[in-house]
Structure 1
Amino acid sequence: MYDTIHLILKENDLDIPISFKEEVACNIEIDEKKSTISKIYGHIDNMSVMITGKTLSVIGSLTSYTKGNNIKGMVFSEVKKAIESLSKTLNVPLEKAKVKRIDIAQTFTMQFEPRLYLPKLYYLSGFSRSNISGTSLYFGKESKRKSGENLQLLFYDKNAELRNSDGYPLVQKSRNLLRYELRIKNVKYTFKRKIRCLELFSEDFYRELINLWYSMYKSIEKRLESLEDYCEIKLNGKKDLYETCLRLCVMAFNMEEEVEIASKKGKVTAQNKSNVLKKIKEIKEELRKKHPILSMIDELNKKIKKEYEEQIKGLEKEA
């Protein structure tokens, strides 16, 4: 579930200080156009590296660095190996680095196009909602610090990104891939303490991140937008309309209770009461047998909950 990370390491953080310009620059592919006398820009695969004076900055998708793409997130057990590999390549102990940013993310294969799910993610208290395009949705929150945005939730069509890249399996491009990312852009502000890279290997800290990822999603107010969010809709004629309206009434209200109230008011005879209750029971049994179309938001809720539970179980196995 770890994706993008931003690490900051200073020379005086090391037990044996070294010169980043001398020892690290030779291990990266330097971007001559961006580099200046005071700053060195470069990269290792997809990871961007910047050396400014005695400070080393590393940012990029840890999942893409390890797997070549970030369609599916890393499992917890892979994180330490990825950091160790990056440390070995740079020839510096990144576990001592300060973590400035962490993204927790996962991609889900959905029944429908991702853009159809976005309008149903309606409101998150304290966050601004922004549809930058028809294929992405942002919930952003400003921190009180000058560093700007602190937390950001992003939902987007992963295929929109895949179509512009040659680095992903072609088989994925035919799927409805919806991605949910929680971007913690100011880690210290969020957790009220400095987080070192070493904590990324901690089960307790990972559990804290996963809980935040899941709880933030649950806090979003969801909105049902069409009748099909409630049950299967058939409108091909008067009979279909009548049966659909009956199903909606039975699903939306406690019809047995309504019949009891009407009976006490003398609006329903004993015989008709029995017949109506029998019909309500038949409709409920029919709905259970036919397994009506699952609402889109229920589908997304279940997939995200399942991912959360699997991540927690994975930690229990590691323990």
Structure 2
Amino acid sequence: MKKGNPNNPALFWVRNFRVTTRNKKLIIEGSLAKYFNGNNIEPFSWLDVKSAIKKLSFEIDLPLEEGILRRVDIGMNFSVNKDVVEYFPEMFHLHCYQRIHKHKTTLRFENNSHRFNFCFYDKKRLVLKSKRNYDDFELISEYQNLMRIELQIEEGLQLFLKRTEPVKVSELFSRDFCKLLLKKWLRLYRRIQKRGVKLFPTGTKGREDFDLLMRREFIETYGWEYLEYRLEQLVKQGSFTRGQKCEKKKQFTRAMLDKRPFIYQEHVNELNRKVNIMLFEIIDDQLFNMPETAQKLVK
């Protein structure tokens, strides 16, 4: 299911799915959750994916499970205590991604080389702004604040998954493949460097914890660009080798991702806890009941 060119006229629509053709290939683009549930607010589990694809295959009269998967979006909704935008300043940095906050209700981390995005946005405001589906308004009304965290793999799915062979749609029926996608989502979330409270935690002990704290404060105060500039100066004047520069940056990265001696701000603590609970529920309630491999389902 590949994102088609918006300038290409649709051959036809199947509910929210747009069907086009290009280079003798049929391109089918849309949201499975919206197709199956009528919205992407209510829970749409991994177990529903097979049913949704089988239903869409019947309507289009094509064996879609034999098609090639070009784009995948993995999104989860979280009911949060505060206004969604209050969480954005604490999402500080993600290596190899550009932090973009052009729109008040959306924070994006866009990969520098490929169309891989990790996004945080206010789902409730988006629905209310669209003014399209009154059923969505009713669903959204039960939430005070609703944040959506979404991994968007817009192209290069094989590259993102570090494999050479094409990804078949039928692989979405596999527990192992779904676990891999979930792992990628979680890894990116955890790799985002979050701001800490600028105080000495009571559990700080020894020089190692102190050095970690100082490195965190340096990055949060001056930013990664300034550290890069200072290290490059040392390399140019012969005080550092390239290898030493790389090792020093790794030390600062480890400090930013180390959770032990630091106290996170209230919003990050809440979000981390809810992400862990959500993932436990997905693994326990959904993935545990799926077949281990797609081969058991596709004949």
**Fold in common (TM above 0.5):** yes
Higher strand share: 1
- Within the candidate set 237, 247, 271, 1:300 is matched to 271
Post-superposition CA distance 1:258-290 (Å, at most 9, x none): xxxxxxxxxxxxxxxxxxxxxxxxxxxxxxxxx
Which has the greater radius of gyration? 1
SS of the equivalent of 2:2 reads strand
SS of the equivalent of 1:117 reads helix
1:76 equivalent in structure 2: 46
Mapped partners of 2:204, 2:269: distance in 1: 23
Q: Does 1:207 align with 2:214?
A: no
Q: Compute the displacement of 1:171 (Å).
A: 4.8
Q: Does 1:219 align with 2:218?
A: no
Q: Compute the displacement of 1:253 (Å).
A: 3.0
Mapped partners of 2:289, 2:66: distance in 1: 27
Post-superposition CA distance 1:237-265 (Å, at most 9, x none): xxxxxxxxxxx87xx335999xxxxxxxx
Q: Compute the displacement of 1:207 (Å).
A: 0.4
Q: Compute the displacement of 1:73 (Å).
A: 4.5
Distance 1:254 1:80, change over 3 A: closer
SS of the equivalent of 1:56 reads strand
Mapped partners of 2:19, 2:63: distance in 1: 15
Unaligned runs of 5+ in 1: 9-30, 144-148, 228-247, 258-293
1:182 equivalent in structure 2: 151
Distance 1:221 1:44, change over 3 A: same
Mapped partners of 2:22, 2:95: distance in 1: 39
1:160 equivalent in structure 2: 125
Q: Does 1:140 align with 2:110?
A: yes
Runs of 4+ in 1 over 4 A off after TM superposition: 254-257
What's the TM-score, normalizing by structure 1?
0.64
SS of the equivalent of 1:6 reads coil
Mapped partners of 2:26, 2:289: distance in 1: 35
Q: Compute the displacement of 1:88 (Å).
A: 0.6
Post-superposition CA distance 1:58-109 (Å, at most 9, x none): 1111101111111144211110010011111111100111100001111111
Q: Does 1:44 align with 2:40?
A: no
Structure 2 counterparts to residues 100-119 of structure 1, below 5 A: 100-119=70-89
Distance 1:120 1:155, change over 3 A: same
Mapped partners of 2:76, 2:290: distance in 1: 20
Identity %: 28
Structure 2 counterparts to residues 155-304 of structure 1, below 5 A: 155-163=120-128, 164-167=130-133, 168-173=136-141, 174-185=143-154, 186-191=156-161, 192-193=163-164, 194-224=166-196, 252-253=201-202, 295-304=266-275
Distance 1:109 1:255, change over 3 A: closer
Question: Higher relative CO (CA 8 A, sep ≥ 6), structure 1 or 2?
Answer: 2
What's the TM-score, normalizing by structure 2?
0.68
The answer to whether the Cα contact below 8 Å between 1:79 and 1:201 also exists between their aligned partners in 2 is yes
2:210 equivalent in structure 1: none
1:56 equivalent in structure 2: 26
Mapped partners of 2:204, 2:193: distance in 1: 27
